[in-house]
């Protein structure tokens, strides 16, 4: 085997998702009857096909990188509240 077969490759996920962090515990059953539950700090994730799931915070923050916020949905904070 050549040296090139063992070199690192760079990957990224293929799909864009929408997500928001949970401010309170959440549990639900999806359309396929699967139970989902999350704690404060976990994320609810919506895929492009509309399905939703809960991702633990540690896993979500390790995998996903924020792309930005859609215009009109963001709320601006005044500078004195920027870190609250």
Over residues 69-82, mean pLDDT: 46
- 10-64 per-position pLDDT tens digit: 776 677 899 999 999 999 999 899 999 999 999 999 988 899 999 999 999 998 8
* pTM score over 0.85: no
DSSP labels, the chain: --GGGGS------S---EEEE-SS-EEEE-TTS-EEEE-TT-EEEE-TTS-EEEE-HHHHHHH-------TTT-----GGGTT-
Q: Which pLDDT score is estimated for 9? A: 75
């Amino acid at each position: 085997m050549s040296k090139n077969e063992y070199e690192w490759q760079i990957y990224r996920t293929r799909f864009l998702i929408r997500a928001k962090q949970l401010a309170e515990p959440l549990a639900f059953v999806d359309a396929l009857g699967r139970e989902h539950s999350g704690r404060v700090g976990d994320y609810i994730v919506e895929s492009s096909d509309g399905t939703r799931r809960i991702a633990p915070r540690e896993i979500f923050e390790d995998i996903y990188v924020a792309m930005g916020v859609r215009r009109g949905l963001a709320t601006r904070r005044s500078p004195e509240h920027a870190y609250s």
